[in-house]
Structure 1
């Protein structure tokens, strides 16, 4: 039988080369969890063996239950009737299987019924589910909502809500967007107020809410009357009860199995999560960063599916007496798709590890504080790790979602006219890919989110250490190219910062972020090439192309090709 974990050699390679020792040690409380739960791992090897088994289960369900029903789910879509939303038959079937396999509380602590598995492993599960059916990820991948309650809610809220997520008896939604507040969440107007008994209630409308029919809703609302910015917003949790009316579900281009709802809150009873006024500036930003990582994994899963469809079709389709797989322009497209896939996978799981480390260091600090111990050493580390994770998360979403669209586009092109027809899966994959670089922050907003870390050269020390590292054989030549790319980046960065022009910095941001990403991924691939001979070829192809891109980006910046932006009205209007 097919298995989306064991069949994917690159995913297995990434898993086998993960370094999660410190992360797992903190998560397992130095493996003392095994004293309370007999199914908890007793050491690192035991933990990794458990994770592998879980990923094999996910891979089996994805390949043999979810994937075969994806086309039918796309055709059927979610249903909306008499104000009620129901999932497509295949969606509900998949959720039933995932629930029976106890996979709906992936990262939650065992205390609340979860598996206590690191986020990095969870992202691997999301990749596989998304490869099978991207729309299902929008339900399975919303476990970050439970994580937010765990991280910021009080113990009573954790006891009430988290077991429901872990048992699969409840799905969730994060209700952030409004008709007039899309990416600009500071403009949120939905009102939160306390009635005469002190009960918080919600009143207003939310729009474009993924899985808005979920049982448990995290809602961003304006709790401070008279405020107009993010400092007046708080986070609330409530049930999608009779006071929450689903006004409609959207008729979308893709991910049809995932209902996207417009919600009306009619004095809905709610509970404040964490502190007032921290809703946007702390809780939502943390929640969205988790969602951005999940969408990156979703995009990678779609890209893997598109590549598999293109490869299979190219090998089967004959033209001019031979399979089109052997026609050089087609072969070259497939090779580029493969390189993008593997480089993106390296970036995703490196970023996931940094995010895991940040989260676990935060937990470690809280544990030490509770024991009255010194936390200064961990706080210093956390500060640097947080900076890196805050840079890499938007950078990863930018690279992976843009690449997913490119890979899906090329996969359809390889199919030719047939790919434009609904009989072929690639048509659905193209539609599904398109949302990934839009929701949870468009690609343009990811650039805005990443540029601060790039300007401050957050990875500078990492790059300096890599430049001092010796690489064997032909890899030394690739290391020299990466040094050249680093010089190009620093030269471009100096050119931008010397201008001391905020507008110029903004318009040069994309070129700088891309150069920084090429450099980081290049070193990731170089390290992988030392471990696996097949990766040498991947690293060579990626780094040589990345050098050309960096040269183009520097030229674009220094020629000030975007000076036309200063005259946009004259050109566009």
Structure 2
């Protein structure tokens, strides 16, 4: 019987070794929740058993049912007829299976009928689902909508919506993008206005809305007349109704199983979620960060599927009287794919651990009786999460694209055909480094933390881990890179133009190099840590670090060259 959790020793290793004890204890209020809720764990061991059981359940659903249905779902896709989105019956069956298993309110509290699991475990679930059918994750993974209402909604909103999300009665969408404003959310125009009784209404257009046919919508809208920036935007909750029209669905390259909708709001009744003016500044940024973690997991799931398909094909395909995985050209590609996959997963779950700590300490600071130490931790984890989340999305999604690309190459001509799933993995992977912020925007989000050295404390902890001699030698290489990274950051921060002003153009041009250099060091330390725990993982850590040294040096030389020619003459190149 196929189980997409139990057959993945990397995920099992992650669950076993990810430090969730502090997080779980805070989520379960020192395990006093067990006094009120039968399903709540009595201690950390009990909680860990709950996590593992749930992961095995979703692993079996994914391996036995969702994957078997995925080709048909991809071939037929979501349909649009007479103004209605029609999901494939197999997609609906997938959702019914997940609902019946009680997996639609994974992070919601026990009081709302949820499992009260940490983000880290939920992320493992989204990875597992994505491996089976990436498009299904775009519906299952929108549980972040409920989490946003939980974080920022009032009690009436939470009591009404959250139990219905947990039961699977409600699904959600986040309605942010507009026809002329994709990444530039501060320019959103969809209008929110109140009548004389204080009832809010929404008027305008949204585009590229994943699962825009949902029952519940979180909508970013301009509530303050006369404003043109992010401070005039608020977050609203509305429900599907005749005034909310799906105008069409997009004809997409991949993720065919989920509808991507263009929406028209014609005086749609809505409720304010949270406070006015904080829609973009606080609420959407929180929602987007959760979505970026989910897309990172989607990317890792697709990469896992692509790698396994390629490995299986290479072991079975014979040329010149031997299987092609015996040829250096192929086994080097497979090895690289596995290293990139493992690296992306290591950063993903380090990121989710930090996100969990940020969330639990933020809740304590805002709703509990925090100490000064608690406040300091909340501030620290907030900054660290702000750097790691975009770093993670950049690495995971770019890795998924390259792994899916190599997967097709290993299949040769058959990979270009629809006979195998290799081409679907490539099509599905391609969106991951675009939506919820392109890789270029992830660099913009991460570079501030790199320049301010927000991850140095965590890297110091990782550098201090006791390692066997062979891995310690690799750590020394990373220490050398870290010293060079500090030099590069200093060089860019101090670089000036001819008139003596800060060279912001050079800073922006070199941002991707600096973020990727930081990623090489941070992920290398994570893999060395894991190699010390399990010797079988050491070869992956070694390969990653040795490759990272070469890649780092190229970027380091580029950053410290001070070469500004591209800034001066890029139009000459582009316009030739």
Q: TM-score range by the shorter chain?
A: over 0.9
8 Å CA contact 1:78–1:259 kept in 2: the answer is: yes
The alpha-carbon distance between structure 1 residues 564 and 145, as it changes in their structure 2 partners (threshold 3 A), is same
Q: Provide, for residues 201-237 of structure 1, a one-character-per-residue CA deviation record: whole Å limited to 9, x for no partner.
A: 0000000000000000000000001100000000000
Q: What secondary structure is seen at the aligned counterpart in 2 of 1:237?
A: strand
Q: Provide, for residues 9-50 of structure 1, a one-character-per-residue CA deviation record: whole Å limited to 9, x for no partner.
A: 111111110111111011101101100111210000000000
Q: Mapping of 1:73-88 within 5 angstroms?
A: 73-88=73-88
- Report the counterpart of residue 572 of structure 1 in structure 2: 574
CA distance in 1, matches of 2:321, 2:254: 36
Using the TM superposition, name which of 303-312 and 462-471 deviates more: 462-471
Any gaps of 5 or more consecutive residues in structure 2? 496-501
Number of aligned positions between the proteins:
569
Q: Mapping of 1:130-149 within 5 angstroms?
A: 130-149=130-149
8 Å CA contact 1:488–1:550 kept in 2: the answer is: no
Q: Provide, for residues 320-365 of structure 1, a one-character-per-residue CA deviation record: whole Å limited to 9, x for no partner.
A: 1111111111000000001111111111000000000000111222
CA distance in 1, matches of 2:240, 2:415: 40
Q: What secondary structure is seen at the aligned counterpart in 2 of 1:474?
A: helix
CA distance in 1, matches of 2:305, 2:342: 13
Residue 468 of structure 1 and its aligned partner are, at CA, apart by 4.5
Q: What secondary structure is seen at the aligned counterpart in 1 of 2:252?
A: coil
CA distance in 2, matches of 1:340, 1:36: 44
8 Å CA contact 2:193–2:223 kept in 1: the answer is: yes
Q: What secondary structure is seen at the aligned counterpart in 2 of 1:186?
A: helix
Q: Provide, for residues 473-517 of structure 1, a one-character-per-residue CA deviation record: whole Å limited to 9, x for no partner.
A: 211111111111112211211211120311111111001000101
- Report the counterpart of residue 189 of structure 1 in structure 2: 189
1:442 aligns with 2:438: yes
Q: What secondary structure is seen at the aligned counterpart in 2 of 1:80?
A: strand
Residue 470 of structure 1 and its aligned partner are, at CA, apart by 4.0
Residue 569 of structure 1 and its aligned partner are, at CA, apart by 1.8
Any gaps of 5 or more consecutive residues in structure 1? none
1:383 aligns with 2:379: yes
CA distance in 1, matches of 2:328, 2:30: 54
CA distance in 2, matches of 1:374, 1:567: 54
8 Å CA contact 2:65–2:94 kept in 1: the answer is: yes
Q: Mapping of 1:267-286 within 5 angstroms?
A: 267-286=267-286
The alpha-carbon distance between structure 1 residues 374 and 328, as it changes in their structure 2 partners (threshold 3 A), is closer
CA distance in 1, matches of 2:124, 2:370: 35
Q: What secondary structure is seen at the aligned counterpart in 1 of 2:42?
A: coil
Which aligned runs of 4 or more in structure 1 are off by greater than 3 angstroms? 464-470
- Report the counterpart of residue 200 of structure 1 in structure 2: 200
Q: Provide, for residues 412-466 of structure 1, a one-character-per-residue CA deviation record: whole Å limited to 9, x for no partner.
A: 0000000001121011110000000000000000000000000011122233344
8 Å CA contact 2:462–2:526 kept in 1: the answer is: no
Residue 376 of structure 1 and its aligned partner are, at CA, apart by 2.4
- Report the counterpart of residue 175 of structure 2 in structure 1: 175
1:563 aligns with 2:565: yes
- Aligned equivalent of 2:417, options 421, 431, 435: 421
- Report the counterpart of residue 527 of structure 2 in structure 1: 525
Residue 469 of structure 1 and its aligned partner are, at CA, apart by 4.5
Q: What secondary structure is seen at the aligned counterpart in 1 of 2:460?
A: helix
1:257 aligns with 2:257: yes
- Report the counterpart of residue 49 of structure 1 in structure 2: 49
- Aligned equivalent of 1:551, options 540, 544, 553: 553
The alpha-carbon distance between structure 1 residues 556 and 48, as it changes in their structure 2 partners (threshold 3 A), is same
CA distance in 1, matches of 2:458, 2:171: 40
Q: Please, what TM-score do these two structures have when normalized by structure 1? A: 0.98
- Report the counterpart of residue 493 of structure 1 in structure 2: 489
Q: Mapping of 1:283-298 within 5 angstroms?
A: 283-298=283-298
Q: What secondary structure is seen at the aligned counterpart in 1 of 2:204?
A: strand
Q: What secondary structure is seen at the aligned counterpart in 1 of 2:442?
A: helix
Residue 163 of structure 1 and its aligned partner are, at CA, apart by 1.2
CA distance in 1, matches of 2:335, 2:570: 38
CA distance in 2, matches of 1:561, 1:420: 41
CA distance in 2, matches of 1:26, 1:46: 15
Q: Please, what TM-score do these two structures have when normalized by structure 2? A: 0.97
Q: What secondary structure is seen at the aligned counterpart in 1 of 2:469?
A: coil
